[in-house]
Structure 1
Amino acid sequence: MNKKLIVVVGAGPGVGNHVAKKFGANDFCVVLVSRNQEALKQYVQELSSEGVEAYVVAADASSPASLTKAFDQIKKNYGTTDVLVYNAAVLKGGKPTSLTAESLVSHFQVDVAGALHCALQVIPDQVAHKSGTILFTGGGLAMYPSAAYTALGIGKSSLRNLAFTLAEELKPQGAFVGTVTIAGAVAPGTHFAPELIAEKYWELYQKREEHEIVYS
């Protein structure tokens, strides 16, 4: 495969698919990953209609085994991952006292541990080639906590920490890690329209300078 490959984990009609579209328009081959096989088929049809070479792999971001299987399939069928975008999160509200230890861990599994697990699937090849990019979808709750979204805020703050520490570790080995911290509600037709936010992922990928863009 001559094109570079971007894998978007947490595909969906918002940020995930618009990031895929942005990279696809710049001659990337796209693989979309999410749990919903039927939705994935629709997404890939939309991308294909715009001239983007796109494929789908179903996987559950809460299951390391499912993610491992997905990345094994991606490497076998489409090659090594040049750009990984982790866009999965449990987007549910809840105050601290509404949580249990178990529910918080279930949030963390998707919001943070899933991100690390996906990164670990692509890092060996990226380090071997001394190139590659890993981008995380962050959130303003990482910096401005809200009691109404406690678990999500804990996840986004932890994900931000993971992005910076991974960046520190991998930079000497040639791989770049960054995060787009979205400090607002994503909504079409607004300043937080997904296509505008997607431009920041492309900016991080191209410039490889700052490890975080706060979109506010």
Structure 2
Amino acid sequence: MSKKLIVVVGAGLGIGNHVAKKFGVNNFRVVLVSRNQESLNQYVEELSSEGIESYAVVADAASPLSLTEAFNQIKKNYGTTDVLVYNPAVLKDGKPTSLTSEILMSHYQVDVASALHCALQVIPDQVKQKAGTILFTGGTLAMYPSADWTTLSIGKAALRNLAFTLAEELKSKGIFVGTVSIGGSVAPDTHFAPDLIAEKFWELYEKREKNEIVYN
């Protein structure tokens, strides 16, 4: 049986790459997606050195067009996406009155709208095979918003609702949707180390019992 395929949008040294590694060591092929080709090449080299079949595709989470092109390339070259992980977010602080509607919408595109856009790229094939998983990197700002992090609070709340509504719609079609809501700053060698958080993504994928894990 051929390996399943995981696509991680928002590859990077934190959660993205550690989720990719967790699935990779469990017999998945990995496609990493982010804006920087040079960084992606390095990430692929690192995963490959650990025996993980991995590939890189460049795309910008701020651009739905580039994401569409990336997923077309992924489908053509690597086949159906069995697991999609959407990890990007704009990590910029700011109080409500310091924002403009344009700034809010630019953040919302990356934090939420592009998550839906990526999901829509893989859902048709997952429906056809009556199986698939879509996972989002969430945050407890969704439940406990902070004025200092207004756009991220709004984005994580909307992303959480997107996860739950997609889960409700797609469950009967064999597709599982979940989110890991993280309650702290991700940093190596802490309780919020990315490798520990990656375990929660794997837990959602394997157990498929609940649509959210709150990691405090």
Common fold by TM > 0.5: yes
Instruction: Describe the SS at the equivalent of 1:85.
Output: strand
1:32 corresponds to = 32
Counterpart in the other structure of 2:43: 43
Per-residue CA distance 1:123-167 (angstroms, 9 max, x = gap): 001111110000000011101111110001100000000000000
Match of 1:110 in 2: 110
Partner of 1:191: 191
Q: 2: CA distance between counterparts of 1:173 and 1:155?
A: 27
Q: 1:96-135 alignment to 2 at 5 Å?
A: 96-135=96-135
1:127 maps to a residue whose letter is: V
Supply the AA of the counterpart residue of 2:25: A
Deviating above 6 A after TM superposition, structure 1's stretches of 4 or more consecutive aligned residues are: none
Q: CA deviation at 1:204?
A: 0.3
* Superposition map of 1:145-160 within 5 A: 145-160=145-160
Q: Matches of 2:199 and 2:96 in 1, distance apart?
A: 34
Aligned-partner Cα distance in 1 for 2:181–2:198: 12
Query: When the two structures are superposed, what TM-score results if normalisation uses the length of structure 1?
Result: 0.99
SS of residue matched to 1:67: helix
Aligned pairs, how many?
A: 216
Q: Which residue of 2 aligns with 1:6?
A: 6
CA distance in 1 between partners of 2:209 and 2:111 (Å)? 25
TM-superposed deviation, 1:202: 0.3
For the residues of structure 2 that align with 1:79 and 1:22, how far apart are their CA atoms? 20
Paired-residue identity, %? 78
TM superposition shift of 1:2: 1.2
Amino acid at match of 2:66: S
- Residue 136 of structure 2 corresponds to 136
Counterpart Cα distance in 2 of 1:73 and 1:2: 19
Q: Over residues 76-120 of structure 1, what are the superposed CA-to-partner deviations in whole Å (9 max), with x where a residue is unaligned?
A: 000000000000111111110111000000000000000000000
Which secondary structure state, in structure 2, belongs to the residue aligned with residue 210 of structure 1? coil
Q: Structure 2: which amino acid aligns with 1:99?
A: L
SS at match of 2:177: strand
What does the per-residue CA deviation read over 1:21-49, in whole Å, with 9 as the maximum and x for residues that have no partner? 00000000000000011110111111111
What is the identity, as a one-letter code, of the residue corresponding to 2:145? P
Task: Name the amino acid aligned to 1:185.
Answer: S
Write the distance in 1 (CA, Å) between the matches of 2:85 and 2:134: 6
Residue of structure 2 in register with 1:172 after alignment: 172
In structure 2, the gaps of 5 or more residues are: none
Q: What is the TM-score of this pair, normalised by structure 2?
A: 0.99
Q: Which residue pairs with 1:204 in the alignment?
A: 204
**Equivalent position SS for 1:42:** helix
How far the C-alpha of 1:185 sits from its partner, in A, is 0.5
Question: Structure 1 regions of 5+ residues with no counterpart?
Answer: none
Residue identity matched to 2:120: L
CA distance in 1, matches of 2:98, 2:91: 15
